[in-house]
Amino acid sequence: MGLVPVTPGPSLVDAGISPADAALLRRLVPAMPTAWHRLNPLTKATIAAGESIGAFVLGGYLGPLLILALVIVPSAVVARVAGRLLRVSILVSLPIAVSVVLVTVFTRAGPTVLFTIGPFVATLEGADFAGQVLVRLLVLATALGLFGMTTEPRALVFDLERRGVSPRLGFAAAATLETIPAMAERAAAIQAAQRARGLDTEGGIRARLRGVLPLVVPVVLSSLTEVEERSLALEVRAFGRPGHRHLLWTIGDAAWERPVRWGIVIAVIGVGVARLAGAWPHIP
Amino acid sequence: MLELRGVSYRYPGYATQVLRDLDLTIADGEIVGLVGANEAGKSTLCLVASGLAPASIGGRLTGSLLIDGEPMTGRAPHELAERVVAGFQDPATQRSGVAATVFEEVALGPMNLGLAVAQTVGRTRAALAALGIEALAERHPSRLSGGQSQLVALASLLVMRPRHMVLDEPAARLDPAGTNLVAGAIRALAATGAGLLIAEHRTDLLDGLCGRIVVLDGGCVVLDGPAGEVFADDRIEGFGVEPPARIRLARALAARGLDPALIVLDADATPVRGVASPDPAAAPSAPA
Q: What is the pLDDT of residues B42-99, one digit of tens each?
A: 999 999 999 998 988 889 999 999 998 899 888 888 888 889 999 988 888 888 877 8
Report the alpha-carbon distance of residue B206 to residue B49 in Å, rounded. Answer: 19
Closest residue by Cα to residue B166 from B59, B58, B26, B60: B26
**Beta bridge partners of residue B3, listed in sequence order:** B25, B66
A136: CB partners within 8 A, 6+ apart? A55, A56, A59, A64
* Residue B129 touches partner A, C-beta closer than 8 Å: no
User: Residue B275 sits in which domain range?
Assistant: 244-288
Q: What do you get for the CA distance between the two ends of chain B, in Å? A: 40
User: Residue A66 sits in which domain range?
Assistant: 35-151+253-276
Instruction: Specify if A13 maps to a domain.
Output: no
Report the alpha-carbon distance of residue B180 to residue B186 in Å, rounded. Answer: 10
Instruction: Specify if A2 maps to a domain.
Output: no
DSSP code of B223?
E
Instruction: Specify if A9 maps to a domain.
Output: no
**Total domain count, chain B:** 2
ipTM value > 0.85: no
Neighbours of B139 (CB within 10 A): 17
Residue B265 and residue B283 in one domain: yes
- Strand-strand pairing, B2-10 and B60-67: antiparallel
Q: Do B109 and A238 touch (CB under 8 A)?
A: yes
Which of A174, A229, A239 is the closest to B88 by Cβ? Answer: A229
Q: Are A58 and A271 in contact (CB under 8 A)?
A: yes
Residue A98 and residue A203 in one domain: no
Residue B17 and residue B142 in one domain: yes
Residue A222 and residue A265 in one domain: no
Residue A196 and residue A79 in one domain: no
pLDDT value for A164: 84
Q: At B275, is the pLDDT very low, low, confident or very high (cuts 50, 70, 90)? A: very low
Residue A91 and residue A208 in one domain: no
**Total domain count, chain A:** 2
CA angle A174, A177, A180 (to 5 degrees): 150
Residue B146 and residue B184 in one domain: yes
Report the alpha-carbon distance of residue A252 to residue A38 in Å, rounded. Answer: 8
pTM value > 0.80? no
Residue A107 and residue A139 in one domain: yes
Query: Got the DSSP string for B118-166?
Result: HHHHHHHHHHHHHTT-GGGTTS-TTSS-HHHHHHHHHHHHHTT--SEEE
pLDDT value for B186: 85
Burial class (CB in 10 A: 0-12, 13-18, 19+), B186: buried
pLDDT value for A8: 42
Q: Are A170 and A161 in contact (CB under 8 A)?
A: yes
DSSP code of B89?
S
Radius of gyration of chain B (CA): 20
Cis-peptide into B54, omega within 30 deg: yes
* Boundary (domain end) residue, out of B217, B235, B253: B235
Neighbours of B284 (CB within 10 A): 11
Residue B199 and residue B170 in one domain: yes
Residue A69 and residue A204 in one domain: no
pLDDT values of chain A reduced to their tens digit, one per residue, 284 residues: 333 333 444 455 455 778 888 888 888 888 889 999 999 999 999 999 999 999 999 888 999 999 999 999 999 999 999 999 999 999 888 888 999 888 888 888 788 888 888 888 888 888 899 999 999 999 999 999 999 899 888 888 888 888 888 877 777 766 666 666 677 777 777 878 877 877 776 667 777 777 777 777 877 777 777 778 888 888 889 888 888 888 888 888 999 999 999 999 999 999 999 988 887 777 77
Mutate to test the interface with B, among A21, A168, A226, A236 (most CBs of B within 10 A): A236
Residue B51 and residue B108 in one domain: yes
Closest residue by Cα to residue A183 from A226, A229, A148, A234: A226
Closest residue by Cα to residue A48 from A7, A79, A17: A79
Residue A142 and residue A43 in one domain: yes
Residue B156 and residue B219 in one domain: yes
Residue A113 and residue A218 in one domain: no
Q: How many CB pairs under 8 A join A and B?
A: 133
Instruction: Specify if A57 maps to a domain.
Output: yes
Residue B183 and residue B248 in one domain: no
DSSP code of A243?
S
Residue B70 and residue B11 in one domain: yes
Instruction: Specify if A124 maps to a domain.
Output: yes
Q: Do B120 and A248 touch (CB under 8 A)?
A: yes
Residue A147 and residue A260 in one domain: yes
pLDDT value for B268: 55
Length of chain B as a residue count: 288
pLDDT value for A62: 92
Percentage of chain B beyond pLDDT 90 is 47
Chain B residues 28-67 within an 8 A CB cutoff of chain A: 47, 50, 52, 56-57
> Chain B closest CA to A141's CA: distance in Å?
25
Closest residue by Cα to residue B174 from B197, B153, B195, B191: B153
Residue A81 and residue A142 in one domain: yes
Residue B96 and residue B201 in one domain: yes
Residue B67 and residue B186 in one domain: yes
pLDDT value for A82: 94
Q: What is the pLDDT of residues B223-270, one digit of tens each?
A: 999 998 999 998 999 999 999 988 888 888 888 887 766 665 555 555
Residue B8 and residue B131 in one domain: yes
CATH code at position B193: 3.40.50.300
Instruction: Specify if A6 maps to a domain.
Output: no
Q: Do B121 and A17 touch (CB under 8 A)?
A: yes
Q: Are B173 and B202 in contact (CB under 8 A)?
A: no
Residue B265 and residue B197 in one domain: no
Residue A147 and residue A45 in one domain: yes
Residue A178 and residue A147 in one domain: no
pLDDT value for A122: 84
Instruction: Specify if A3 maps to a domain.
Output: no
Q: Where are the beta strands (DSSP E) in chain A?
A: 10-11, 113-117, 120-123, 250-251
Q: What is the pLDDT of residues B132-159, one digit of tens each?
A: 889 999 999 988 888 888 889 989 998 9
Write out chain A residues lying below 8 Å of B57, CB-based: 228, 232
Q: What chain A residue is nearest to B84 in terms of C-alpha separation?
A: A236
Burial class (CB in 10 A: 0-12, 13-18, 19+), A177: exposed
Q: What is the pLDDT of residues B185-208, one digit of tens each?
A: 888 888 888 899 999 988 988 998
